[in-house]
Every structure is written in structure tokens, then in C-alpha cells.
Structure 1
Amino acid sequence: MTATTRSRLSAALPAGLVVRRLGGTLGLLAVLSVAVFALLQAAPGDPAQTLLGPRSATPEALAAVRARHHLDSPMAVQYWYWLSDAVRLDLGTSIRTGESVATALGDRLVLTGQLVGLGFAVALLLGIPLGVLAGLRNRRVTDRAVQSLGVVALSTPAFAGGLVLIYVFSLMLGWFPAYGPGEGAGTDRLRHLVLPALALGLAVTAVLLKLTRAAVIRELGREHVTFARARGVRERDILLRYVLRGTVVPVLTGIGLILAYLLAGTVMVEQVFALPGLGSLLVDSVTFRDVPVVQAEALLIAALVCLANLVTDLVQPLLDPQLRSAPAARNPSRAKASAAALLSGTREEGKA
């Protein structure tokens, strides 16, 4: 990295801004870890009996389990022991399978990551172009048609959409497999993940579509766009150089929120398509009260969501110079509030 590049990066991302964002993310993770630990500890039943599972629960066995896992200690001490082990990636042992929790999560994280990545690609490839088209054809037939399709996609739960996709593309047409992860990580895995990715991505495409449409409409009404048209600048250049550049920040904010939704949506999609990912592992662990796995996976998902929001907050000043010195740069919620305002404005236009 050259000195010029480092200076530009330092100007776009001051050290104080990065430290504040990192501190806020770590603080949020700490609060979430307390919430996850407290909620599971407050669940009905004896934690020692849960850890023993179906084995004989003699008084001696219960006392040994309580001593091993510090269950006789105050809640704050139990949390400290659990968090200390989690920081060292010692997430305990699964009650149901007896394997390391870290190993179980690592084996399934790859498949879930592939599913989320493909679903994210589906949302980008459909949501942004359709949103731009709807914004350019504001209040015309094309706009109404695109918005109607978006409402249908948004109103359809991911599991219901998955069942429809299985019936049409697997049972009727036979184009794609109906269930399972496939063999290896090549073409066969991709064929097995196409339908789950479509079911997952279509559920959030409408959100990205509406956000892009609202941003395009807002940029088309700005003075510099009107001035460019008055000077005879081609519509294509106006779209690429002015309109689309102005939509980057609100759309980027929406992308960060969509990633969080995709991680949560994998639970139902993996169940429908029988995929052995984090979602199905979470369902099985909750069913069998596998507390160590539930705690570790809940913390992992929370960390991934926080990481996605942190990256979004840090990338925004790099893409929009105004955020480097504007009050929005000191207030990370400003861009998200702007995105919410764009969506609310779109709803009001639809009602009109």
C-alpha cells in the first residue's frame, strides 16, 4: 500500500471513527452474550439434568455436573466462566452428539455460508435492476407491475416459496434436485443450492427493490440532475454518473440489513430442503435442549450480524465523501434512518 493510498484511507476513515465503531460493536456483542446466556439459563428445567440428558440423574451425578460446570456459583460467575471459554473458542461439548461444539459449527458453517452467499447474489441481481427500472418508470405501468411482484415476493414466506419451487422445478420439470446438499463443493453442490438460494433470496428481493426505487426517485429530483438535463447531458450518462452514484449509500445500508435477514432465514429454508447447515442444527439443538450448541450458535449468528453492520458502517465513508466530515459520519444511525425514510416515502407514494 502506497503512502498516497494510506493517506486517502486515513482521511476517509479517521482512527477515532474506526475505534468508535469497533467499540460499539464489541459493546453490542457483550450485551447480546449476556442476553443469550441469561435467557437459556432462565429456561424451565434443571440445567444439570439437561446436561446429563437421558442418563441416570442420581444425586451424585447431578452434584458432579454442577461442580464441573460451576452451576452452584452465582449467575455472574457462571457467565464469566462461559464467556472466558467462548473467547478461547472452547464452546463446550454437544449433549446430543458428544462432539465439540466448535467442530459441529465449523462443519455446518461452510454450507450455510454458501447458501447465504447465493441468496444474497439472487437478491442483488433481481432487486437492484428492478428497483432502478421502477424508479425510472415512476408511477407508470412498469413501476406498478414491478412493485406488485415485489409485494408478492415479500408476502410469501421463505418455506412456502421453497415448496412451490420444489414442486415446479424439481417434481414437474426435473431441472434441480429437491433436497440435500449434494456431493463435494463443485457443480453438484451448486445444483442442489439453486432452489434454496432462490427461496431465500426472493424473500428479501422486495426490500432491496423498494429501497433502490426510492433512492433513484430521490436522486432524479435533485437539482444537479435537472441542471445536467438542461445542459443536454445524455440520459445514460446522467443515470450512471449522477443517479446511481447517489443511491450507493442507502442501498448499501439496506444490503447490511438484508444480510442479517438472510442469516435468520436459513433456519426455515434448510429445513424445507433438508440441508445440514446452521439452521437445521439450531432447530435440532432446541428440540433436544442441547444448551451448549444453542448458546454457541446464537452468539455466532449475533457476531456475524454485528460484523455485517460494522463493515457497512465503515464502507459508507469510503463511498460517500460527504459522510467523512458531515454529522452523519459521527452518527452511524443517520444513514439507516435515511434508508427508513426512503422506504416510508415510497409507501406514501404508493398510497397516493
Structure 2
Amino acid sequence: MNGWARFALRRLAGTAAVVLLLSIGVFGLLYLAPGSVQQTLLGTRPATPATIAAIQARYHLNDPVAVQYLRWLGGVLRGDLGTSIRTGAAVSGMLGERLPLTLALTGYGTLLAALAGIPLGVLGALRRGRATDRLVVTAGVVGLSAPPFAVGLLLLVVFALGLGWFPVYGTGEGLADQVWHLTLPAAALAVGAVGLLVRFTRAALVRELEQDYVVFARARGLRAPLVLRYALRNSLVPVLTAAGLIVTGTLAGTVLVEVTFALPGLGSLLVDSVTFKDVPVVQALALLLTLLVAAVNLLVDVGYSLVDPRVRLGGAA
């Protein structure tokens, strides 16, 4: 078995174990949380014993928790994510409708972070110890300290309500209109990511600029842009690590940002489902997000081998 096959098998086994443990934890926490499915479905209407018994029979609520979980897991293995308790719709259809918006928001936020964070990190490294470097580092710390939902509220007040440059909520129609509507939410997600990218990029480039090959290249009279190009190439591994962290962190940050901007994505669906104890939807969301994070980590690992030939997947360098 070659290195790639061993690597793929290890990642698949690890992902399966993480998904299993996470699904058990989510199921148990929802079971222990206050409230019940009966209360969610009945609302303020009077609950008769016959109605409660019918609900319990419909959703198998009288079964032991382990049996309920195994029933759900068996459905997932057959490709059936179940039916929403709150709406009665198929969970797979609900996820399919909302996933594109969350992926678009995550990609947009990551793009904004990369366009701002990497150049600022390079600038800080090139101006190390100067006023520009201190300003860049300070801005990065401030960005890391700012919660996305708080940044989102600030952007709404200033740029949507105050200046009127962007819409307050909604997704828009057409590509250009959707980009316009998602700019403020993506910027709210990107602020913290910029701070992380600045720190990783600056630290990696500073370390590379102190290496012997850079000193030798400068002594040979190579042009500064060419020397910087070599140093940046060797700095890409930690930058890729930061990029992976940013994508996964942005996925998590969409939960509150989507609620702040009233966007119908996976984040707002998760909040509503947890509130109403819609167990099938919450379980499916946890499964989907775990798989997305695993896919991002896999892409980052593959990226290591592409940007640095010394890195080999599944084996020694």
C-alpha cells in the first residue's frame, strides 16, 4: 500500500471516529437540554394525554436514548437524514437549500481575509521593528480580539443604517446583488481572520528572511523582489495552516453572523433547530459541518505537499 493510500485510510478512519463521537455528544446534550418535543409541537395549545401519547409514538420518544440514537444512525448509513420535527420537511432538502449560501459566505470572507491579511503580514515582516510593523501587529491583535457578531453589528450601524451603502439584511437576486448583500457579513467574518493571517504570515516570513540562503542571495546581488519570492514560497506551509484554521473558524462564525444579518444559511438553521430541539436537523448539521472541516483539513494537507516538495503525505519526507 502506497503512502497516499495509507494517508487516505488514516484520515477516513479519523474522520469517522470524530463524526461518531460528535454525533453521540450532540444527541446526548439535546436529550438533556430543557424542554421537549411535545412542548415544541404543541406550543401554547392544551396538551391532552392522547395528544402527548400520539406524539411520543410518532417520534419514538418512549424508546431508550440509545435506541433512538441507533435508529437515527442507521438511517444516516442508508442515506436518510430523517425528517424535521419542527417543519415536517426532509432534512436533506433543508440542508441542500441553505448550504450554498453558507459556503458562499465562508468563501467570500476567506477571500477578503487573504487579500488583506497576507499583504499586511508581508509588509510587517519587511518593515520589522519599525512604526509600520507595530501598526500592523496592533491591527492584527485588535482583529483577533473582535467577535464576528460584534463586528457585524458595528458594520450594520455604520455602513448600512448610517451611510446606507449596503443593505441591512437579505441575500439579493443575481450574482452582483448577492455579492453586495454578502459584503458586510463577509467583512465581519474576515476581521478576525485577517489578524490570524497577519500573525502567521509575518512570523513565517521573518523566520525565512533570517535564513542563510536569503543572506547568500542578497550577497550575490539578487534583486529584492526575487529574494522575497523565494522567501514567500518557503513561508507558505504555515500560511496554509492559518488558512485552514480560518476556513474552519469562518464556518463556525457563520452561526452568529447569519443570525445578525438575517441570512437563511446553515447557521441560522442551527440556532432555530437547537431552540426547538429539532434533533434530526441538529444531528445532520453536526455531521455536515464535521465533514466540511475534515475536507478543509485534507485540502490543507495536500497543499503542503504541493507548495513544499519536502513534505510527503503518508510517509517520511
Q: Does the pair score TM above 0.5?
A: yes
Partner of 2:6: 16
Amino acid at match of 1:148: T
RMSD of the TM alignment (CA)?
Answer: 2.4
Task: Return the alpha-carbon distance in structure 2 between the equivalents of residues 96 and 78 of structure 1.
Answer: 18
| Superposed displacement of residue 171, structure 1 | 2.9
| Superposed displacement of residue 225, structure 1 | 1.4
Partner of 2:233: 245
| Superposed displacement of residue 45, structure 1 | 4.3
Q: Is 1:202 the counterpart of 2:191 in the alignment?
A: yes
Amino acid at match of 2:159: F
Moved more, 85-94 or 141-150: 85-94
Aligned match for 2:123, one of 125, 129, 133: 133
Q: Matches of residues 81-100 of structure 1 in structure 2 within 5 Å?
A: 81-100=71-90
Q: Is 1:29 the counterpart of 2:30 in the alignment?
A: no
| Superposed displacement of residue 273, structure 1 | 1.3
Secondary structure in 2 matching 1:322: coil
| Superposed displacement of residue 289, structure 1 | 2.5
Deviations 1:280-309 (A, max 9, x none): 112222222222222221222222112211
Q: Is 1:174 the counterpart of 2:167 in the alignment?
A: no
Task: Return the alpha-carbon distance in structure 1 between the equivalents of residues 130 and 79 of structure 2.
Answer: 55
Partner of 2:287: 299
Deviations 1:303-339 (A, max 9, x none): 211221122123322322222289776xxxxxxxxxx
| Superposed displacement of residue 116, structure 1 | 0.8
| Superposed displacement of residue 173, structure 1 | 2.8
Task: Return the alpha-carbon distance in structure 2 between the equivalents of residues 231 and 25 of structure 1.
Answer: 49
| Superposed displacement of residue 56, structure 1 | 5.9
Task: Return the alpha-carbon distance in structure 2 between the equivalents of residues 44 and 174 of structure 1.
Answer: 41
Identity across the alignment (%): 55
Assess if the C-alpha contact under 8 Å between 1:22 and 1:310 holds in 2.
no
Give the direction of change, closer, same or farther, for the CA distance of 1:79–1:325 in structure 2 (3 Å limit): closer
Assess if the C-alpha contact under 8 Å between 2:98 and 2:265 holds in 1.
yes
Partner of 2:244: 256
Assess if the C-alpha contact under 8 Å between 1:50 and 1:289 holds in 2.
no
| Superposed displacement of residue 46, structure 1 | 4.7
| Superposed displacement of residue 264, structure 1 | 0.9
| Superposed displacement of residue 168, structure 1 | 2.5
Give the direction of change, closer, same or farther, for the CA distance of 1:326–1:59 in structure 2 (3 Å limit): closer
Amino acid at match of 2:227: I
Assess if the C-alpha contact under 8 Å between 2:30 and 2:277 holds in 1.
no
Secondary structure in 2 matching 1:224: helix
| Superposed displacement of residue 108, structure 1 | 1.2
Aligned match for 1:188, one of 173, 177, 182: 177
TM-score (norm. length: structure 1): 0.82
TM-score (norm. length: structure 2): 0.90
Give the direction of change, closer, same or farther, for the CA distance of 1:51–1:78 in structure 2 (3 Å limit): farther
Amino acid at match of 1:114: A
Q: Is 1:225 the counterpart of 2:194 in the alignment?
A: no
| Superposed displacement of residue 27, structure 1 | 2.0
Assess if the C-alpha contact under 8 Å between 2:273 and 2:282 holds in 1.
yes
Task: Return the alpha-carbon distance in structure 2 between the equivalents of residues 63 and 325 of structure 1.
Answer: 55
Q: Is 1:280 the counterpart of 2:268 in the alignment?
A: yes
- Consecutive unaligned residues of structure 1, counting only runs of 5 or more, are 1-9, 330-352
Partner of 1:267: 255
Partner of 2:299: 311
Q: Is 1:116 the counterpart of 2:106 in the alignment?
A: yes
Assess if the C-alpha contact under 8 Å between 1:36 and 1:299 holds in 2.
no
Deviations 1:23-55 (A, max 9, x none): 2222222222222222222323455x3574436
Task: Return the alpha-carbon distance in structure 1 between the equivalents of residues 316 and 245 of structure 2.
Answer: 18
Aligned match for 1:103, one of 74, 84, 93: 93
Assess if the C-alpha contact under 8 Å between 2:301 and 2:313 holds in 1.
no
Give the direction of change, closer, same or farther, for the CA distance of 1:150–1:192 in structure 2 (3 Å limit): same
Task: Return the alpha-carbon distance in structure 1 between the equivalents of residues 316 and 255 of structure 2.
Answer: 35
Amino acid at match of 1:227: F
Give the direction of change, closer, same or farther, for the CA distance of 1:163–1:67 in structure 2 (3 Å limit): closer
Task: Return the alpha-carbon distance in structure 1 between the equivalents of residues 86 and 194 of structure 2.
Answer: 37
| Superposed displacement of residue 129, structure 1 | 0.8
Give the direction of change, closer, same or farther, for the CA distance of 1:24–1:220 in structure 2 (3 Å limit): same
| Superposed displacement of residue 174, structure 1 | 2.4
Amino acid at match of 2:101: L
